[in-house]
């Protein structure tokens, strides 16, 4: 068990779904991103997903790419993710890192795991790493008691679902649709089927991401998933407001809307 699984299980006992909020470290600055993560927790996010900016983000849509590119231009480095995790944990939310594999590999897998554990991080979501190719990371993560969070998609075969579930700890990340992250007008029915299939494969916790934009979307997904993951809709609050305080206020309002959704008050 970890702080992440403990929180998810506590929330399940409350008969609701968790709200998981993603923001990339370094946008609009490292300090500004940390403050934004603290605001998310204050406004109702249960778990923070700290994004590590990367130059080739194959899963990310234009909103997150824009913020990540700006963060990299501003000098954000891998090491900046750790104070962001520490601040999120101090604010009262378990924190996981979302990172593509190459930055972790360049930093050193053992070093990355040790440094993340040292600041209270719960685990890592690796969108471009499959369990069958993750031997070295699994060893490092297990050594530091970090959750290894892998993705399934509507295209995943039964064999792939069982493989992913067997290798995943914390929660399985169910991508609600094929494609990149981004805001959508609706969340399709494929997500609900995918959650059911992933649970049938043995997953105790399944959280859904990609496309959740509004409180109503969050409420719909919360009806069948253990967690609702929101990224682009939150990042957009910051990218569309050049004034940092205005961006934080927009973020606070959006999180409150989504939090009401997962609590059945949308």
Which residues are marked as active site? 49, 60
10 Å CB burial of residue 58 (0-12, 13-18, 19+) is exposed
CA 226 to centroid of chain Cα atoms: 13
Burial 77-90 (b: 16+ CB within 10 A, else e): ebebbbbbbbbbbe
Torsion of CA 162, 171, 57, 93, to 10 degrees: 180
Q: Are 20 and 230 in contact (CB under 8 A)?
A: yes
Provide the residue count of the chain: 266
Output the furthest CA–CA distance in the chain (Å, rounded).
48
CA 165 to centroid of chain Cα atoms: 17
The enclosing H or E element of 82 equals: helix 81-91
Give the Cα separation of 261 and 43 in Å (integer). 13
Phi, psi values for residue 160, rounded to 5°:
-70, -40
**Of 55, 34, 65, nearest to 232 (Cα)?**
65
Tokens, residue 252: 């606070």
Q: Are 262 and 226 in contact (CB under 8 A)?
A: no
């Amino acid at each position: 068990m970890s702080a992440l699984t403990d929180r998810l299980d506590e929330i399940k006992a409350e008969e609701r779904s968790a709200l998981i909020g993603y923001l990339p470290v370094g946008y609009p600055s490292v300090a500004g991103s940390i403050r934004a993560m603290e605001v998310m927790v204050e406004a109702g996010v249960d778990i923070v997903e700290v994004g590590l900016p990367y130059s080739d983000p194959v899963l990310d849509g234009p909103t997150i790419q824009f913020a990540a590119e700006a963060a990299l231009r501003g000098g954000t480095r891998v090491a900046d993710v750790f104070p962001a995790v520490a601040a999120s944990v101090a604010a009262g939310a378990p924190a996981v890192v979302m990172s593509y594999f190459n930055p972790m590999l360049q930093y050193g897998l053992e070093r990355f795991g040790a440094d993340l554990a040292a600041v209270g991080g719960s685990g890592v979501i690796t969108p471009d790493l499959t369990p069958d190719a993750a031997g070295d990371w699994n060893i490092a993560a297990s050594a530091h008691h970090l959750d290894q969070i892998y993705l399934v998609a509507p295209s995943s075969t039964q064999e792939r679902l069982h493989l992913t579930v067997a290798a995943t700890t914390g929660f399985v990340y169910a991508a609600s649709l094929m494609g990149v992250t981004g805001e959508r007008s609706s969340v399709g029915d494929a997500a609900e089927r995918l959650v059911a299939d992933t649970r049938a494969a043995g997953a105790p916790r399944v959280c859904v991401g990609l496309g959740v934009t509004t409180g109503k979307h969050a409420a719909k997904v919360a009806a069948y998933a253990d967690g609702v993951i929101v990224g682009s809709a939150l990042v957009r609050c910051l990218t569309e407001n050049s004034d940092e305080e205005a961006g934080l206020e927009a973020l606070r309002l959006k999180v409150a809307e989504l939090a009401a959704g997962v609590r059945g008050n949308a």
